[in-house]
Amino acid sequence: MSAEPTESKVASAAAPSGRRRKRGLTTLVMLAAAAGGGYYWYGTAFEVEADRPFVATVTRADIETAVASAGTLQPSNTVPVGAQVSGQLQKLHVNVGDQVDTGQLLGEIDARVQRNKVASSRASIASAEAQIAARREALLLSEANWERQQRLWEEQATSKQEYDSARNNLAAAQASLTQQEQSIIQSKATLATDETLLEYTQIFAPIGGTVVSIAMKEGVTLNATQQSPTIMQIANLETMTVETQISEADIGKLYPGVPVYFTTLGSGDRRWHSSLRQILPTPTATNNVVTYTGLFDVDNSDGALQSGMTTQVYFVTSSARDVLTVPIGALTFADAGRRNDAALRAEGGVDADRRGRGGAATARAAAPRQAMVRVVAADGTITERAVTVGVTSRVAAEVISGLKEGEQVVAGIAQTTAPAGAGNNNQNNNRFPGGGFPGGGFPGGFPGGR
């Protein structure tokens, strides 16, 4: 009778212990499932797709290599118009901006003093010409007396004193006539000078052009004793000259006749074309930076260019038109980017052999260079191929041989973007700056290499 209660107590005590073990096992299973799900979610959310090749297509385009510099526009010819006589500026017949022709009257200076000098010189000439007739008659009389004295001297009918006096009077009459004649010549020269000074009181345009500035006003007294005061300036704005500063590092690449074009700040897409006329031999040093001044002229018949405008100048050292091109990043050069002296000298030749490939013979040819490219086949396989490269710029290169239009080449690596929801991860954002290249997948990539 006493054993049954004991077994009942043992059974009742074991039941709660079993239930606790079951609950603990369930909790462990749930934690394991949560950990596995979290690991799977983390790995899926932050999984990064591998970088893919960036593929570009071989296309036809224009390409050029240019040396850039800054410059300013100046009139091709500017003439200061001054006063050559002193006096009051009585009248100006033009204003700033007026178009004038050569010989057009621009202004007038008080001419009373000059007119009086001309009148005085003319009166002196008239007086001298009136006296010269009397001196000629005196000379004829002296000649007659001398002939008479000579006959009387031969006949011993005159004295030595009278004979010598007649000869002396003849010489004096000849000298007096000569002096009067030279005085008339001198007076005429003085008259010509006075008439010229009188003409200078009227100011005429020395060249045709535009009045760009007027320094003097009507009523100002001009003093032309020591130097000619400038009244106005006339400039030829139909032809403008660009003065550009060329770095000493680029001076060896340029030569007279090299094609050049420039733009201005307000010109939009418009370009003005010309050719380099001259490089001044004297350098300019500013803050230890040495530059040389290059000059070239450009037509401005439409008046779109103004004096003092800032220009962005491009000297075209080599160019090619309508040629096969690839991105510069697709090439691996055999010379590792180094150009030897022979190659640089070869660029001094005229680009004549490129006419057949559409290259305009307006710039010197670039020496051909050997390079390697990675060509993408239609099935996606990539093979290396040797090509010959001509003109290169910072972004593209001309392919002379080795590739055909429409073929695709590897031009770099297209980094992919992380999935949405991973943007809050700083490490992931640093790995893929800029969000990658949409559409840059292999093998299609950017169609046309654009």
Q: Is 347 among the domain residues?
A: yes
Structure tokens at 122: 């003319």
Which domain does 428 fall in, by range?
Answer: 415-449
> Is 421 found in the same domain as 363?
no
Q: What is the C-alpha separation between 346 and 231, in angstroms, rounded? A: 54
pLDDT at 20: 60
Residues 408 and 422 grouped into a single domain: no
CA separation for the pair 175, 206 (Å, rounded): 46
Please indicate, yes or no, whether residues 388 and 312 belong to a single structural domain of this protein: yes
Asked which of 172, 200, 228 is the last residue of a domain, the reply is: 200
Domain assignment present for 392:
yes
Answer yes or no: is 147 within a domain.
yes
281: DSSP letter: S
Q: How far, rounded to the nearest angstrom, does the alpha carbon of residue 324 sit from its chain's CA centroid?
A: 30
DSSP for residue 417: P
The residues with which 30 forms a beta bridge, in sequence order, are none
pLDDT of residue 201: 94
Question: Cα angle vertex 341, ends 373, 312, to 5°?
Answer: 80
Q: How far apart are CA 283 and CA 250, in angstroms?
A: 13
Same domain, 407 and 261: yes
Instruction: Identify whether 106 is part of a domain.
Output: no
364 and 314 within one domain: yes
Q: Are the beta carbons of 283 and 291 closer than 8 angstroms?
A: yes
Q: What is the CATH number of the domain that holds 380?
A: 2.40.30.170
- Longest Cα pair distance anywhere in the chain, in angstroms? 220
| 137 within a domain of the structure (yes/no) | yes
Strand-strand pairing, 202-204 and 105-109? antiparallel
In a domain, 185, yes or no: yes
Rg (CA), the chain: 50
Tell me if 34 is assigned to some domain. Answer: no
Q: What sign has the CA pseudo-torsion 344, 346, 350, 354?
A: negative
d(CA 231, CA 280): 30
Residue 285 lies in a domain: yes
The whole-angstrom separation of Cα 115 and Cα 56 is: 84
A 10 A CB-CB count for 120 gives 14
Q: Which amino acid is at 88?
A: Q
| Both tokens assigned to 366 | 């670039």
In angstroms, the CA 119 to CA 450 distance is: 84
Examine the domain organization and report whether 375 and 422 are in the same domain. no
In 105-263, which ranges are continuous DSSP H helix? 112-154, 160-199
pLDDT at 158: 82
Q: Are residues 332 and 304 in the same domain?
A: yes
Collapsed DSSP state (helix, strand, coil) of residue 440: coil
180 and 273, same domain (yes or no): no
Cβ(330)–Cβ(409) below 8 Å: yes
445 and 402 together in one domain = no
Q: Are 247 and 361 found together in one domain?
A: yes
Same domain, 342 and 408: yes
pLDDT string in tens for the chain (450-residue length): 444 444 444 444 444 555 566 666 676 667 666 666 665 555 555 555 556 788 899 999 998 888 999 999 999 999 999 999 999 999 999 999 999 999 999 999 999 999 999 999 999 899 888 888 888 888 899 999 889 888 888 888 888 888 888 889 889 989 988 988 898 999 999 999 999 999 999 999 999 999 999 999 999 999 888 788 999 999 999 999 999 999 999 998 899 999 999 999 988 889 999 999 999 999 999 888 999 999 999 999 998 999 999 999 999 988 888 999 999 888 998 765 444 433 443 444 334 333 333 333 345 556 788 999 999 998 888 999 999 998 888 889 999 998 999 999 998 887 655 554 444 444 444 333 333 333 333 333 333 333
Tell me which of 200, 225, 260 is where a domain ends: 200
ω into 443 cis (within 30 of 0)? yes
Asked if 330 and 439 sit in the same domain, the reply is no
The span from the CA of 362 to the CA of 116, in Å, is: 64
From 136, 171, 200, give the residue that closes a domain.
200
What is the model's pLDDT at position 293? 95
Structural domain count, the chain: 3
